[in-house]
């Protein structure tokens, strides 16, 4: 069974590697933790830049932007060290520019909240469908106060997978091709396949350890001598094996050798193999015997 075991082990190995890589790729693409973490980081970068540009529009390059807070999975908050004043249309343009730059959600709601009483001083909503976009009159400048700016994304996080995952996809495809070519398209050979515990011989399967031939569901018992002779012929198909070699290898340890014993066992073995016309045990006169396999 050595050849079969090697084949099965290799097949199982490639199958295992294929499934592991495939699972890793799917995890990379669909893992909520990966997508949420990546989206959160990119959202904070974009919103911090919003705060920076909003201060610069006020000619303010010294006021600190406090850390962007994640209120919920979809909602983030920008806050500032000092009070500020700005025109709402400037905020609309800055937010739009930075969210588009990092390919974040196209559907979001922005609220400018007064720190003192949590009242909403200004709010608007952007939607990918323009008719659903709501931007109130933005011409009035908000007075200098302490403001919090809440940005809530209105659609599911859609973080793009890392480009490196494309390499994993290519790896899966490559392993699939190797698996298919090496195992699924393995050609059947009519030549005998010699293994440790069994041998394919034409339409027969020879089991030397069990002293038998099997053809489909039919078992053909072999004597020990017949089995030993057949094992010798199988190793050297289509080659002449001399009588002296056969008698020495099969009868050497049995003491007296009867002259016609070899011919008798060859005759019995030939009758058992005659059910397969592609196999012939041929007598080479004066020399020995040959197992012919077509």
Mean pLDDT for back-to-back runs of 10 residues, the chain (294 residues): 42 61 58 68 94 91 92 94 92 93 89 95 91 83 94 70 60 72 52 57 81 80 89 90 88 64 88 87 90 87
Q: What confidence score (pLDDT) does residue 88 get?
A: 92
Angstrom distance (rounded) from CA 244 to CA 288: 8
Q: What confidence score (pLDDT) does residue 46 get?
A: 94
Are the C-beta atoms of 99 and 107 separated by less than 8 Å? Answer: no
Report pTM.
0.45
Q: What confidence score (pLDDT) does residue 183 get?
A: 59
Q: How far is CA 45 from CA 75, 144, 180, 252, 266, in A?
A: 14, 25, 46, 88, 87
Q: What confidence score (pLDDT) does residue 168 get?
A: 63
CA R_g for the chain: 41
Angstrom distance (rounded) from CA 57 to CA 51: 10
Nearest to 109 by CA among 151, 171, 46: 151
Sign of the CA dihedral with 169 first, then 174, 175, and 179 last: positive
Q: What confidence score (pLDDT) does residue 35 get?
A: 64
Are the C-beta atoms of 78 and 140 separated by less than 8 Å? Answer: no
Nearest to 79 by CA among 67, 63, 61, 91: 67
Q: What confidence score (pLDDT) does residue 146 get?
A: 95
How many C-alpha atoms does 261 have within 13 Å on its Cβ side?
Answer: 17
103: left (phi over 0), alpha (psi -120 to 50) or beta: left
Looking up tokens 């983030």, which residue turns up? 76
């Amino acid at each position: 069974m050595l050849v079969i075991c090697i084949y099965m082990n290799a097949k199982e190995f490639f199958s295992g590697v294929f499934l592991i890589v495939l699972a890793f790729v799917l995890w990379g693409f669909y893992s909520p933790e990966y997508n949420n973490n990546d989206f959160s980081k990119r959202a904070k970068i974009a919103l911090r830049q919003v705060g920076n540009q909003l201060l610069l529009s006020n000619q303010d390059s010294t006021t600190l932007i406090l850390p962007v807070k994640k209120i919920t999975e979809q909602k983030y908050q920008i806050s500032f060290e000092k009070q500020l004043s700005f025109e709402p249309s400037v905020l609309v343009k800055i937010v739009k520019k930075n969210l588009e730059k990092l390919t974040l959600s196209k559907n979001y709601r922005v609220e400018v909240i007064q720190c003192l009483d949590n009242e909403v001083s200004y709010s608007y909503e952007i939607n990918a469908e323009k008719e659903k976009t709501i931007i109130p009159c933005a011409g009035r400048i908000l007075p200098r106060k302490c403001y919090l700016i809440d940005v809530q994304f209105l659609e599911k996080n859609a973080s793009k997978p890392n480009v490196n995952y494309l390499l994993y996809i290519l790896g899966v495809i490559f392993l699939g091709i190797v698996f298919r070519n090496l195992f699924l398209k393995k050609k059947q050979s009519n030549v005998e396949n010699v293994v440790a515990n069994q041998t394919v011989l034409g339409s027969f399967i020879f089991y030397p350890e069990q002293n038998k031939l099997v053809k489909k569901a039919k078992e053909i018992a072999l004597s020990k001598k017949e089995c030993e002779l057949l094992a010798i012929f199988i190793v050297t198909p289509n080659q002449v094996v001399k009588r002296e070699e056969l008698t020495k290898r099969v009868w050497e340890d049995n003491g007296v050798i009867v002259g016609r014993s070899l011919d008798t066992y060859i005759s019995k073995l030939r009758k058992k193999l005659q059910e397969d016309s592609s196999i012939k045990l041929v007598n080479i006169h004066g020399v020995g015997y040959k197992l012919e396999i077509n």
